[in-house]
Structure 1
Amino acid sequence: MNAHHPLRRRLFLILEGHSHKDPKAAGVFSWVLTLMVLCSVMAVILESVPAIEAQYGQSLAIFDAASIVFFSVEYLLRIWTAAERKPSTHLSDHRRRLRYVLSFHGLIDLLAILPFFLQALLPGLDLRFLRVIRVLRILKLSHYSSALEDLMAAIYAERAAFISALYLLALSILITACLMYYAEHDLQPDKMGTIPDAMWWSIVTITTVGYGDVTPISLWGKVVGAFTALSGVFTVALLTGIVASAFASRVRTHELEFATEVEELLKDGLVDSLEKRTIEHLRRELGITEEHAQAIVRQILEEKSRMGARD
C-alpha cells in the first residue's frame, strides 16, 4: 500500500492540468510549458540560419540553457509525482515511476533534455542531429492533447484494413516502377536506368507529389504514367478514408464512454460539486469539448427527469 502524499498529489494534478483545487496554477503551468516549448523550437529553427546564429548565437545558447533547466526540473517532478498516476494496490511507487519513464510521454520528456547531456558526453556529435532531437520538444504538447494517442489507437484498431491498403500501395509502386523502367530505361538511362530509380518516380507520382524532375517521353511511358497517377488517387484516397473513419470511430467511442460514465454518476438526477469536478475531469481526459459535454449532461438529466415524471 502506498502512503498518502498530499503535496505530491497536488503537484501531479497541476502538472497534468487537471487540478480542481488549483485550477489557476494548473492553467498557468500549462501556458508556461506551451510557451517554453514553442519558443524553444523556434530558437532551434532560428539557430540553423547562419546570419541569425552569428548575431544572436550567444542569446540563443543562454535561452537553450534556461529551457534545459526548466524541462529538467519538470521531468524530475513528473518522475516523482508519477507515483500518483492511476493508483493501484498491486503497483509500488517505483513501478509507477518506471512505467512513466518508459511511456510515450516519459520518453518525449526525456528527449527534450537529452541533447544537452549528449553534447556534454559526446562533444564531437553532429549539431544537426542534436537540432533534430531538440525540435522533437514540440511533442511535449501531447501532455495536453490526446490527438497522437487517438490517431495511433485508431490506426491500430483498423490495422488489418490499413495493412491491406499499404500492401496495395506497395504493389502499385512496384508494378508501375517495373513498367516504367521497361518503357523508359533506354530513352532516359540517367533517370530510369534502374528499377530503384523508377521506383522513386513511382512513389512521387502515386503520392501525387509530382516533383516534375522526371517525365515520361515515350507513348508507353505516358500510358504507364497516366495509370500510375490514377492508381495513386485510388490508393491514397483509400488510406485517407481508413484513417479518417478510424479516427472518427475513436472520437465516437470517447463520447460513448463519457456518456456512460456521466449517466452512472447522475443516477439520482442531481449534480453536486463533486460530480461536477468528476465530469470535468472525464471531459478533459477523453478530449470532449465543453459545449458537447454540457449537451450530453443536459440530455441525460432531461431523460432522468422524464423517467421520474412517468414514475
Structure 2
Amino acid sequence: MWTVPKPNYRTDLCSEGKITVNIGGVRVVLFGDVLKRYPESRLSELLNCSNQNPEAISSLCDDFDPGRKEFYFDRDPDAFKCIIDVYYFDEIHIKRGICPICFIKEMEFWKIDSSVLDECCKSYLSEKEEELNEIASKVKVILEDLEVDQCITRAQRCQRFLWRLMEKPGSSLPARIIAIASFLSVLVSAVVMCMGTIPELQVTDTEGKQVEHPILQAIETACMSWFTAEYLLRLASSPNKLYFALSIMNIIDFMAIIPFYVVLSLTYLGTTSMMELGNVQQAVQALRIMRIARVFKLARHSSGLQTLTYALKRSLKELGLLLMYMGVGIFVFSALAYTMEQNHPETLFRSIPQSFWWAIITMTTVGYGDIYPKTTLGKCNAAVSFLCGVIAIALPIHPIINNFVVFYNKQKVLETAAKHEVELMELKSDEDARRKTDSGPVLGDTANLLATPHMDVSWRSYRLPA
C-alpha cells in the first residue's frame, strides 16, 4: 500500500476523513480535504456516500469491503497515478507508456474534465486523434466497398461497381488490370511524345513541314481514347461529381486530355485555313506541349508519388524558409556583384536585375559560366555567395526527408490498422452469428457490421500504441 503525500500547508488532515481505494491491486489512501477540491469527481462522490446505502457505493466502484473500508476498482493503476495529480497540482500529464486515448477514457471514468490536461499532452492527444480519425475513415471506405449489394436500385449497384472498378485497384482482379492498363498507357503516351520530336522519325507532309510519324500519331490517338473513356467512366460513376471535377488530380487529367481535341478541331474541323496564321500555329504547339501534364497521372497509381506530395505539403514551412534565405541572398550578392564589377571595362554585370541570374546559378551551385566576375573583390563575393548557397540549401533537407519518412511509415501503419480493424469486425460478427439461433448478422454482411453498436467507426473506438 502506498499513501499519497499531502502538501505541507494542509493541517488537521483526519478531520476531513479519508478513503482507501484499491486500483488494480494497488492500495491508495486519499484524504477528504484534497478530494473535495473537485467535488464532481468520482472519488469525491465516493467520499460523500461512504456512509450511505450500499447501492450508491456499488454504482461508483466495482466492489467494497465494509470491514476494511476499502473500495475496489478494476482500472489501470499507472493511469490512476496520473489522475490523482489533478487534486494536488490542478493539471495532469500523460506519462510515457500510456495510450492517450485510453487515458482520456480513464479521465471520463473518474469524472475529471479533459481541460486539466497540460498543453503538451493536449497536442499529443490531438495528434493521436487525427491518426484514429484517419483509421476510421479508411475503415468506412473499406466497409463501403463491401456494401455493393446493399444499394437500393440496379443503377446504384452498377454505379458503385463501376466506381470500384475504376478507382479501387485492390478491390478485384479486373480493377487491378484496368489500373495496370492505365499506368502503361501513361508510359506509352509519354514515350510516344518524346519519340515524336526525333527528326529521324518524322515525316514530311504535303506542305513540306516535318510532322510526327503516322504510326506514332495512331498510338497517341489510341492512348487519348483510353484516357477519355477512363475519365468519362470515372466521372459518370463518381458519387460526388462536383468534388470529382474540382479535385487536383482530375483537373490534371482533364488538362492532359483537352489539348488533343482542341488541336484536332483546329486541324480537321474546317479551320485548315486558319492554321496558316503564325499565332494559331504557336497556340497549337503550346497545346501540344501541355501533353506533358499526363505524366502527373502516374501519381494516381503510385503511392510513393502521393506520399511525396503530402510530405512536401507538410514541409511548406521549411520550403518557405529556404526560398526566403535564397531570396535575401540573391538580392544581397547580386547588388554587391554589380557594385564591385561596374567599373571594370569588360564587366558582364550591366544592372542589378541582370545580376540576379548570376546570383541564382551561383547560390544553387549550377554555375553556367555565362556571367562571371572579373575583379578580385567580385570573385571573393562569388565565393561567399557559393558557400552561403550550399548552407541555405542544406539546412531544410533533413526536415523534409524526415517528414517524408514519417508520413510514409505512418500511412503504412494506418492502412494496416484499418485492415486489421475490419478483420476484427468480421470475427466479432462471426462470433455473434454463432450465438444466435434466429436470423442475425453473418460474416461478410457489411450492413450488419455498420449497424452493430460495438462496431462504431468513430475515433474513440480504436486504440493505438502510446
Same fold, TM exceeding 0.5? yes
Residues 243-287 of structure 1, C-alpha deviation per residue, up to 9 Å, x if partnerless? 21222232233244335435644658969996xxxxxxxxxxxxx
Q: Distance in 1 between matches of 2:193 and 2:412?
A: 38
Residues 16-69 of structure 1, C-alpha deviation per residue, up to 9 Å, x if partnerless? 24343x32x122212211221111111111112233121762112222222221
* Contact kept? 1:184, 1:192, Cα under 8 Å: yes
Aligned partner of 1:229 among 380, 386, 399: 386
Aligned partner of 1:58 among 198, 214, 225: 214
Higher helix share: 1
The aligned residue for residue 246 of structure 2 is: 102
Q: Which stretch of structure 1 is more off in the superposition, 123-132 or 107-116?
A: 123-132
- Structure 2: runs of 5+ lacking an equivalent: 1-150, 205-211, 268-279, 431-442, 445-463
**Amino acid paired to 2:373:** P
Q: Distance in 2 between matches of 1:7 and 1:190?
A: 72
**Amino acid paired to 1:43:** V
- The correspondence of residues 28-67 of structure 1 with structure 2, limited to 5 A, is 28-54=177-203, 57-67=213-223
Change beyond 3 A, Cα 1:6–1:19: farther
Highest Rg: 1 or 2? 2
How far off its partner does 1:161 sit?
Answer: 3.3
1:81 partnered with 2:237:
yes
The aligned residue for residue 403 of structure 2 is: 246
State TM-score, norm by structure 1.
Answer: 0.74
Q: Distance in 2 between matches of 1:34 and 1:42?
A: 13
- Structure 1: runs of 5+ lacking an equivalent: 84-95, 275-299, 304-311
Aligned partner of 2:294 among 115, 128, 137: 137
The aligned residue for residue 113 of structure 1 is: 257
How far off its partner does 1:125 sit?
Answer: 4.6
**Amino acid paired to 2:215:** S
The aligned residue for residue 9 of structure 1 is: 160
Q: Distance in 2 between matches of 1:266 and 1:31?
A: 27
CA RMSD of aligned residues (A): 3.0
Q: Secondary structure at the match of 1:217?
A: coil
Aligned partner of 2:349 among 175, 184, 192: 192
Change beyond 3 A, Cα 1:40–1:229: same
- The correspondence of residues 293-308 of structure 1 with structure 2, limited to 5 A, is none
Q: Distance in 2 between matches of 1:214 and 1:12?
A: 56
Q: Distance in 2 between matches of 1:268 and 1:37?
A: 39
Percent identical among aligned pairs is 26
**Amino acid paired to 1:170:** G
Q: Distance in 2 between matches of 1:51 and 1:61?
A: 15
Residues 226-254 of structure 1, C-alpha deviation per residue, up to 9 Å, x if partnerless? 10110111111123233212222322332
**Amino acid paired to 2:167:** E
Q: Distance in 2 between matches of 1:36 and 1:14?
A: 17
Aligned partner of 1:160 among 310, 317, 340: 317
State TM-score, norm by structure 2.
Answer: 0.51
Residues 66-112 of structure 1, C-alpha deviation per residue, up to 9 Å, x if partnerless? 222111111100101212xxxxxxxxxxxx11211110121122122
The aligned residue for residue 335 of structure 2 is: 178
Higher strand share: 2
Aligned length: 262
The aligned residue for residue 296 of structure 1 is: none
